[in-house]
């Protein structure tokens, strides 16, 4: 049994080593999508992979709307990826190239949230400021931790629910898993380029 594992390991090691391309031969950026190996009894895959904390160099992000994934680069090397939840039907996430123009650790939406009473109890969830109201209630914006603004009309990246990985779910923002949003927030300064592709 151990000999079989050793043999398999040597074969895989030689295949993986043989497939590596020297950096000098790379002419353009390549998005490398890692192969995820899950235990036999596992039915879920990770929401993100990150190995860029110790890497030096400028950060860039590419968000692929068709895949609902973000790819993070440092010095053109892919250092991580994450599932995202972008704008659902009726709440389009814009495409193009943007830069992070504002960063706020504990941001709240000024447009989407809930109507709460004086004790903080939710009277109406999924409310829009100025549209929904309730007697004795006030609007409380949805939490958007690790906010990184991309547009002047309120679209940015932030921590949020990814209810169905691979499917849009937001009001137009790019939601990231909490820990991934925190990691990206720490390494991506204002001015970081973010490209969103269809």
- List the strands of the sheet with 156-159, edge to edge: 122-128, 102-116, 138-149, 156-159, 174-176
3-state secondary structure labels for all residues of 24-73: HHCCCCCCCCCCCCCCCCCCCCCCEEECCCCCCCCEEEEEECCCCEEEEE
- Among residues 138, 84, 150, the alpha carbon closest in space to that of 113 is found at 138
To 10 degrees, the CA torsion angle through 114, 186, 75, 101?
Answer: 50
Cβ of 84: how many Cβ atoms within 10 Å? 31
Contact indicator for 59, 26 with CB cutoff of 8 Å: no
**Catalytic positions:** 158, 173
Cβ of 13: how many Cβ atoms within 10 Å? 10
Separation of alpha carbons 32 and 23, rounded Å: 14
Contact indicator for 153, 138 with CB cutoff of 8 Å: no
């Amino acid at each position: 049994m151990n000999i079989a594992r050793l043999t398999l390991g040597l074969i895989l090691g030689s295949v993986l080593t043989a497939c590596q391309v020297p950096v000098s031969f790379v002419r353009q950026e390549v998005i490398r999508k890692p192969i995820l190996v899950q235990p036999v009894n596992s039915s879920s895959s990770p929401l993100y992979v990150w190995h860029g904390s110790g890497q030096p160099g400028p950060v860039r992000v590419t968000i692929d709307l068709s895949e609902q994934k973000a790819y993070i680069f440092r010095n053109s090397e892919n250092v991580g990826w994450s599932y995202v939840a972008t704008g659902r039907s009726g709440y389009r996430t814009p495409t193009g190239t943007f830069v992070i123009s504002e960063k706020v650790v504990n941001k709240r939406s000024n447009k989407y949230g809930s109507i709460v009473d004086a004790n903080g109890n939710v009277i109406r969830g999924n409310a829009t400021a100025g549209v929904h109201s309730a007697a004795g209630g006030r609007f409380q914006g949805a939490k958007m931790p690790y906010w990184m603004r991309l547009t002047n009309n309120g679209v940015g990246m932030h921590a949020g629910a990814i209810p169905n990985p691979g499917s849009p779910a937001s009001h137009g923002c790019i939601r990231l898993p909490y820990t991934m949003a925190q990691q990206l927030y720490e390494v991506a300064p204002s001015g970081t380029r973010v490209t969103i592709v269809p």
